[in-house]
Amino acid sequence: MNINHEKNQIMVYGKAIKYDAFIKKLSDLSGEQIYGFFNSRGIMLPRMMNCFALTSVLNNKIKFLHSNSLTKDYFVRLQHYKSFTETQLENLFLALNCTSEDFAQYRFNLMKLIVDNYEALDINDGEITYLKNLKKAKIKGFEEYVGYVSAACLEQPGTFDGALIEDLKKDLMFTATNQEIILIGEKYGITIPERLQKDEYVGFIKYYLNKEGKLTEEADQVLDDMSINGLSIYAKREGIPMQPSMSKDDLVTYLFYVLEQCEIPFSTCDSITYDENLYKPLDFSIDLSAITPFGNGDAKKIIHYEGEEADQEEFEKMLDLINNPVVVEEEVIEEPVEELPKIEIERPLKPGESKAQLEEAKVEEVKVEPKAVEEKKPEVIVKKEKEIPLAEKLKIDINSVLENENYALKEKKIFKGSRSKNTTVCIFAGIIVVLALVALGIAIYK
């Protein structure tokens, strides 16, 4: 593989390919595909390479910041931009509301660095062809993509989180928030508590005393028996830089306390070839006096750098749009309603009717004034009330029989009506007569 930037071409297997088109093709790969490729071959990217790619996009965003872009605290920390770690650069990318175009440019610049450093990364023609022929996968967003790329990176000797470790302890005090320090620790599996438990505090004090050559057997025993308040007083008296309720200084100190006990793996790529004009952090100053006390007021120029005059006209146009927004009222255009032509359908001739007679009939129809159409009154529907039996209305139980000696049906008087004494005697007499006659008949028959 060979790269010729002047001719904008790259030679792969002896075949010339357009360099920019090739890089664009690789920048369309997802973060997961990039991680899978480097993880499978065991040669990881140097983390500083990802920092360079992020910086290349952030440089141009910083040039056009104004006094209302960030909080004053963020601008104070931004003065140490050159010392930002990978985690801080990722957070700045999000804080500046970088667009999809910025995200695409970051991916392009990252792949450009990877291809330009193919020898240091030991990437051969076959592997670069494999990447080129990978099927394009969906790229969900910056945070997921940069997470995969970061996982495909390792430190170079003397660096941590993509920054020089010799200056990092001091720089974090000026560049990072407490939360960022905790996040940097979590990223590498280091839990940094905001308040130390007793065993954590005792462990740190013993480590510090041992490092200073002051840990004795007696002190070891005494520290175990102390309360957390007693340990705090002891640490202050002995000049041990740690308190249980941790300040930013304590958080940084605790991070490096753990790092000193860890073995940090390094990338095999010792050095990075890069274009300083594109990837080197922008050198600028910040005019903090441009920030109004309560964050109100017009946006003003706050970033100053060498060659800013070339961007002055573009910057002033941007400020004018911010300070004097133009409200465009949408004009409502009423479109005329197109009337459809009336289509007259001629009726057919009646039997025996001529065409002339039909025309005469049409003229007569025009002369006759149409009768006024009587307005049809709405039909009033009277809802018939459901008939309810009288017994139900009066709440009478028709299943129960009330005996009444003065009222009973003749055919049913035996069962329901009241009986007089004479009627009862007659009935019994009749029955006796009938039985006597039956007995007599039987006797004669025998």
Q: The tokens of 128 are what?
A: 């670069």
β-strands 9-12, 159-160 pairing: unpaired
Token pair of 161 as six digits = 């989180």
Specify the pLDDT at position 391: 45
Per-residue confidence (pLDDT) for residue 24, from 0 to 100 = 95
Both tokens assigned to 79:
């003065």
Q: What contacts 83, CB < 8 A, 6 or more positions away?
A: 163, 164, 167, 168, 171, 174, 175
| Predicted pLDDT of residue 99 | 94
pLDDT at 55: 98
Q: Provide the 10 A C-beta neighbour count for residue 86.
A: 24
DSSP string, 276-324: HHHHSPP-EEE-GGGS-TTS-S---B-EEETTGGGGHHHHHHHHHHHHS
User: 106 and 331 in contact (C-beta within 8 Å)?
Assistant: no
Q: Which residue has the higher pLDDT, 335 or 51?
A: 51
Q: Which residue has the higher pLDDT, 438 or 170?
A: 170
Over the range 270-306, which residues count as b (16 or more CB within 10 Å of their CB) and which as e?
Answer: eebebeeeebebbebebeeebbeeeeeeebebbbeee
Q: How confident is the model at residue 347 (pLDDT cuts 50, 70, 90)?
A: low
What the block records as the tokens of 3 is 């790269």
Closest CA to 28 of 152, 138, 151: 138
pLDDT recorded at residue 134: 92
pLDDT at 433 (0 to 100): 66
Asked if residue 417 has pLDDT above 50, the reply is no
Non-local (6+) Cβ contacts of 45 within 8 A are 38, 114, 121, 149, 152, 153, 154, 267, 269
3 state DSSP class of 10: strand
Q: pLDDT band at 205, cuts 50/70/90?
A: very high
pLDDT range class, residue 1, cuts 50, 70, 90: confident
pLDDT score recorded for residue 349: 64
User: What's the alpha-carbon Rg for the chain, to the nearest Å?
Assistant: 51
DSSP type of residue 338:
P
- 121 pLDDT more than 90: yes
Question: Helix (H, G, I), strand (E, B), or coil: what is residue 263?
Answer: coil
70-84, 324-338, 415-429, 430-444: which has the minimum mean pLDDT? Answer: 415-429
- Please determine, for residue 365, whether its predicted confidence score (pLDDT) is greater than 80: no
Domain residue ranges in the chain: 196-245
Tens-digit pLDDT profile for residues 366-410: 555 555 555 555 554 444 444 444 445 445 444 444 444 443 433
Of 116, 115, 189, 118, the C-alpha closest to 151 is: 189
38-52, 114-128, 344-358: least confident range? 344-358
How high is the pLDDT of residue 283?
96
Q: How far apart are CA 358 and CA 215, in angstroms?
A: 127
Residue 36 three-state SS:
helix
pLDDT digits (tens, 9 = 90+) for 211-257: 889 898 888 889 999 999 999 999 999 899 889 888 999 999 999 99
8 Å CB contact between 43 and 151: no
Quote the CA–CA distance of 43 and 122 in Å, as a whole number.
8
pLDDT for the residue numbered 440: 72
Tell me what pLDDT residue 426 has: 58
- Residues 276-287: tens digit of each pLDDT: 999 999 999 999
Q: Which whole-number Å values give the CA distances from 401 to 95, 172, 253, 389, 396, in the listed order? A: 94, 104, 104, 18, 11
Three-state secondary-structure class, residue 190: coil
